[in-house]
Structure 1
Amino acid sequence: MSAEERRESVVRAAITEFARGGYNGTSTEVIARRVGVSQPYLFRLFPNKQAIFLAAAERCLEDTRQVFAAASKGLEGEEALHAMAAAYQQLIVDDGEKLMMQMQMYAAVAAAEAAGDHAFGESLRAAWVRMWDDVHITLGADESETTTFLAYGMLVNTLASLGFPGDHRVWSGFYVSGRPTE
């Protein structure tokens, strides 16, 4: 396996482990073990734990951005909005680890900021802004539509992370296939 392929394996393993344990609760040893490499080799691929976490978090944001782009390709307005919403809901169902990694990312950046480390979240804020910009353009550069769409996404993240079943009343205001749920 090439170094680039190993690096990719580390990112995938890191998503799984950080999604479960968070930044502080995940050791590089458990990531190395999951990939089947030694810790010294892990640190030849990435300079430190923070770099591994950032690569995993950036991957989750990029994957989400790509899901939105693929879902909305060739669509405009309401059609694009509903296609992106449906695709995101499917992403959460199919790959819950990415959702949990996103939530861990928000918590880790907030903790770093509270501790005075303002650089920790710079690349993640930049990746999030790229996603915001793509959604904004897709939705016709309408700030209200962009904000509403992403706000609903964060609500979806919160409800899904808290484990609310799909038939719970807290989901009742969401749209399915362009129509409000009943």
Structure 2
Amino acid sequence: MNSTEMSAAPRRMSGEQRRDQILKAALGAFAAGGYAGTSTDQVARAAGVSQPYVVRLFGSKQELFAQVYEHASKRVIDALAAVPAGPDAKHEMGEAYVRLLADRDLLLVIMHGFIAGADPKVGHIARFTLAEAFRLHRERTGASADDARMFVAHGMLINVLMASGAPLHLGEDPDLDALTECTFGAAMSDVAALAAGA
């Protein structure tokens, strides 16, 4: 084999790269099927690895989902934490959350995590994420507890509307239209485009 053939040969993935590949595949699989409806075999096929390899790395479906959920929740918290404190923080935190809508799988996994919250580890992550979003909003904006509660509640409403496909079904029900439009406001056209591309 000459040097050109050797450099063209696929590089072997490190264990960390393979783990990341499986977590990414698991995010899509759990987003589509939820915790109960997704098997480690489905995740393995999506990642292009064997099912025993997934089990060897993560131990169980329960642990795999917990790690996917923790990663998804961390992305939300990191996006909010990146906003500096100040007079524009309230607007910027809202914008940071709306940017996350581009990854529908992320938001669906967050929703599935609340459903699977009876699992102690997943429940702990879900509670921490809610509390941290609340704390960060108060810290960055100087807002009251009630304002921070409304921010977290609004984020949950956004998740539910996106998960149910409401922006794609405008015209189906005038009350749902009104709820969707007042939730997204000026970002409605951007949100509809994101939902259509999902």
TM superposition score normalised by structure 2: 0.75
1:103 aligns with 2:129: no
**DSSP-derived class of the 2:167 partner:** coil
CA shift for structure 1 position 133: 2.5
- In 1, the alpha carbon distance for the partners of 2:58 and 2:130 equals 22
Match in the other structure for 1:46: 58
Query: Larger relative CO (CA 8 A, sep 6+): 1 or 2?
Result: 1
1:150 aligns with 2:149: no
Give the greater-gyration-radius structure (CA). 2
| Structure 2 gap ranges (5+) | 1-12, 171-176, 188-198
- 5 Å-filtered alignment, 1:7-18, equals 7-18=19-30
- In 1, the alpha carbon distance for the partners of 2:72 and 2:21 equals 14
In structure 2, do the counterparts of structure 1 residues 40 and 139 end up closer, same or farther at CA, with 3 Å as the change threshold?
same
8 Å contact from structure 2 (residues 66, 121) kept in 1? no
In structure 2, do the counterparts of structure 1 residues 118 and 60 end up closer, same or farther at CA, with 3 Å as the change threshold?
closer
Counterpart residue identity of residue 10, structure 1: I
Match in the other structure for 1:173: 182
In structure 2, do the counterparts of structure 1 residues 6 and 128 end up closer, same or farther at CA, with 3 Å as the change threshold?
farther
**Greater alpha carbon shift after TM alignment, 82-91 vs 97-106:** 82-91
Aligned counterpart in structure 2 of residue 34 of structure 1, from 37, 46, 68: 46
Counterpart residue identity of residue 134, structure 1: L
| Structure 1 gap ranges (5+) | 178-182
- In 2, the alpha carbon distance for the partners of 1:96 and 1:147 equals 23
CA shift for structure 1 position 159: 1.4
- 5 Å-filtered alignment, 1:15-164, equals 15-70=27-82, 72-73=83-84, 75-77=85-87, 79-92=88-101, 94-109=102-117, 112=118, 118=120, 120-140=122-142, 142-164=144-166
In structure 2, do the counterparts of structure 1 residues 76 and 38 end up closer, same or farther at CA, with 3 Å as the change threshold?
same
Q: Runs ≥4 in structure 1, deviation > 6 angstroms?
A: none
Q: Deviations over 1:118-158 (max 9, x none)?
A: 45522332344333332331122631221111111111111
- In 1, the alpha carbon distance for the partners of 2:24 and 2:109 equals 11
Counterpart residue identity of residue 123, structure 2: G
8 Å contact from structure 2 (residues 80, 97) kept in 1? yes
